Amino acid sequence: MSALNFPNIPRRRFLSALAGAAAGHRLVAQNDRTATVSIFNTTDLHGHILPTKTYEGEEDVGGMARCVTQIRRWQAENPNHILLDIGDVYQGTHVSRATSGNLMIDLFNRVKYDAWVLGNHEFDWGLEAVAKNVMMSEPAVLAANAQAGGKWTNSLRDKTNPLSKVAPYLIKEVGGFRIGIIGVVTPGLPAWLHPGLLKEFSAADPLGSVKFAIRKLQSEKVDAIVLATHFGLKNVTNGVGRPDDFANRIHEITKECRDLAVVIAAHTHKDIGNFKVNGIPYTQANYYGIHCGRTDLVFDRETRKLVGVNVQTVKMDKSVALDPMIIGATQKEVAASEAELKKPIGELAVGLAFRPERPGTAAPSLKLITAAIRHSLGKRKVTVDGVLHGLFLDDKDVAAGSKTIADAWEIIPYENRLATAAIRGADLVPVMQEVLGAPFSTHALEGFRVESEGEGRGLKVKAVTLADGKPVEPEKRYVIGLNAFDAQSGGRRYELLAELVQQSDAALTLHAVESRDALIEFFTEKGTVRLADLG
């Protein structure tokens, strides 16, 4: 448990609050001189209802069912509470995808969350899916920097707009205190999501939006202002958070917005339980419900001033039981999902290595993905000259043998629409230099031969030729298959690629099929996938 911070209060009152903190949260809430409003939060659940594993391989941790058990304990300790989720609610599991995310929102309704913040992955299935989930949500949906235009109108206030329920902030009166909660979605959306998914939705500059919301809340005479951001710190090193980037603007906002009581953050999947940024308390749970967050706002009863902020995250390991209501409410859907994931889709005749023979060439396991993409586009009468793609597996070979839908989800864990764009032959070398030079790149350009020397940051692309070694025509446009994420720059990793494919002559087209579905379709139709099928 992190320490309470009591700025500029009399010693007697300080000792009173400190004694409450030492005795635990229940005594803090019941202290004669102070009152505590607790904010409990989940974030980046990504559809995980049941326990899962960490990125490092630790098993039987997290899941919403465990978080709800912890939340119920905390709620019993302090009746003056608020319950939030900070975004990326439903994308990430088969069971959530099978219900278009509705299952997770239904659970929010059942658990009686007060609000949730829009995350970037809410938009992976398109704006229509977001609108449906927003409309069925009983909790408030927050994003102060949400904007819409064109056919979605210039304002989310228009009640005919499917996203009209999205609000900049929520005022919650708890224990006699008025708490203002501002929600913000990361402004990085255009770097990851094709306009066909976002449509007229956009995320405005968060700083201006937060400042505006603060002024509005101050006019409403709230007792404390909480910022809930679906962006956060990437890491903390030697007590210092990493600098802001295009998608994460914590330092900028905390420097400019001094009236914030606390920042509850998300998005970067880091557990930062108790921290300060520019002197403002900061907390961030990580992902999949592996940590659950708690913030205590301690007020002086007489002056109504905020005199302390306590922040922490708690790990949801096997010592925390699964909430029976969550299990019961999702039993049918979970069983159906588990049965679907076990369905066989085909055989892989040989194992496929994760690593390529040399930099610039496709790893055998990547050839499985590129062959599936070429096959899927071809079925839809879309002919491509090559496929540009990378791997999602973390240094893991694909074993030979029977494959199921679950295997396809492991190979391609993200929903990503296929796209095509026509790129000039003269631009292929600089594109591949950018792509292969990116940190931890696993990409390759199937259908062409990429000649390079060196590796890592020292890699240099010398030439890109046709597969048979013949030179490309500099002014000819070659149709390349890729995914929509990379076409939007892959989170600003491939900005030249994004610039080129979004030129009018490139005829960037988003296709009605996702890369994982293409892989499943490839196995299903081939029956047994052999090396010869991979090109």
Q: How far apart are CA 97 and CA 121, in angstroms?
A: 12
Residues 331-341 have pLDDT tens digits of 999 999 999 99
Answer yes or no: is 477 within a domain.
yes
Is 300 a domain residue? Answer: no
Angle at 263 (CA atoms; ends 260, 269), nearest 5 degrees: 165
Q: Is residue 313 part of a domain?
A: no
pLDDT tens digit string along 19-70? Answer: 333 333 433 444 689 999 999 999 999 999 999 999 999 999 999 999 999 9
Residue 148 domain flag: yes
Q: Contact 48/63 with Cβ under 8 angstroms?
A: yes
Do 261 and 355 lie in one domain? The reply is no
Interatomic CA distance for residues 116 and 312, integer angstroms = 19
Tell whether 146 and 265 lie within a shared domain: yes
Residues 249 and 369 in one domain: no
- Total domains in the chain come to 2
In a shared domain, residues 372 and 480: yes
The domain of 132 spans 42-295
Structural domain includes residue 233: yes
What are the b/e assignments for 149-169, b being 16+ CB within 10 Å? eeebeeebeeeebbbbbbbbb
Kindly state whether residues 378 and 500 are assigned to the same domain. yes
Q: Are residues 129 and 260 in the same domain?
A: yes
The CATH number of residue 170's host domain is: 3.60.21.10
Identify whether 18 is part of a domain.
Answer: no
Quick: pLDDT tens for 375-430.
999 999 999 999 999 998 677 899 999 999 999 999 999 999 999 999 999 999 99
Reported confidence tier of residue 370, pLDDT bands at 50, 70, 90: very high
* pLDDT confidence of residue 156: 58
Q: Kindly state whether residue 10 falls inside one of the protein's structural domains.
A: no
Residue with tokens 């609610």: 89
In this model, does residue 161 exceed pLDDT 90? Answer: no
Instruction: Indicate the pLDDT class of residue 357, thresholds 50, 70 and 90.
Output: confident
Does 464 share its domain with 358? yes
Q: Which residue has the higher pLDDT, 162 or 212?
A: 212
What is the mean predicted confidence (pLDDT) over 221-249?
95
In this structure, the answer to whether residues 165 and 262 fall within a common structural domain is yes
CATH code for the domain in which residue 391 is found: 3.90.780.10
CB atoms within 10 A of CB 26: 12
- Sign of the Cα pseudo-torsion (95, 97, 100, 105, in order): positive
pLDDT at residue 192 is higher than 70: yes
The C-alpha atoms of residue 64 and residue 110 are separated, in whole angstroms, by 12
- Mark whether 363 and 505 lie in a shared domain: yes
Residue 24 lies in a domain: no
Q: What is the pLDDT of residues 506-528, one digit of tens each?
A: 999 999 999 999 999 999 999 99
Predicted local confidence at residue 395, as pLDDT: 78
Mean pLDDT score of the chain, rounded to an integer?
A: 92
**86 in the same domain as 223:** yes
Residues 283 and 349 in one domain: no
Q: Quick one: 279 and 186 in the same domain?
A: yes
Bridge partners for 449 per DSSP: 465
pLDDT for the residue numbered 55: 94
Q: Is 212 helix (H, G, I), strand (E, B) or coil?
A: helix
